[in-house]
Amino acid sequence: MSFSQLNNIILKLTDKTTVKVLNVLLEHKEIIDEEMVNILNEEIEQLQEDLNGDEEKIISRIALKEVRKSLYKLNERSLARYRRVRDKETGYFVYYWSPIFERILDLIVSRRKLSIKKLRQRLDYEQRNLLYVCAEGHTPVTFSDAFELGFICSTCGEELSQKDNENTIKFLKQKIKELDEELKTGLEELDDLAELMEKSIPKK
* 138 near Zn ion, judged by CB under 5 A: yes
**Which CA distances in Å does 49 have to 16, 62, 97, 196?**
21, 16, 29, 31
Q: How many residues bind Zn ion (CB under 5 A)?
A: 6
CB contact at 8 A, 22 and 75: no
Which 8-state DSSP code applies to residue 56? G
> Using CB under 5 A, which of 134, 141, 146, 172 touches Zn ion?
134
**Which CA distances in Å does 145 have to 43, 121, 179?**
59, 20, 33
* 131 near Zn ion, judged by CB under 5 A: no
> Using CB under 5 A, which of 49, 87, 89, 136 touches Zn ion?
136
Give the nearest distance from C-beta 163 to Zn ion in angstroms. Answer: 12
CB contact at 8 A, 30 and 98: yes
* 153 near Zn ion, judged by CB under 5 A: yes
Give the nearest distance from C-beta 167 to Zn ion in angstroms. Answer: 20
Please count the residues of the chain.
204
- Compute the half-sphere exposure of residue 71: CA atoms within 13 Å on the CB side of its CA: 24
Pick 133 or 183: Cβ nearer Zn ion:
133
* 155 near Zn ion, judged by CB under 5 A: yes
Listed ranges 18-26, 48-56, 133-141, 178-186: which one lies at the site for Zn ion (CB under 5 A): 133-141
Instruction: List the x/- string, 156-185, binding to Zn ion by CB under 5 A.
Output: x-----------------------------
Report d(CA 76, CA 13) in Å as an integer.
12
Reported as type and span, the H/E element at residue 85 is strand 80-86
List of residues contacting Zn ion (CB under 5 A): 134, 136, 138, 153, 155-156
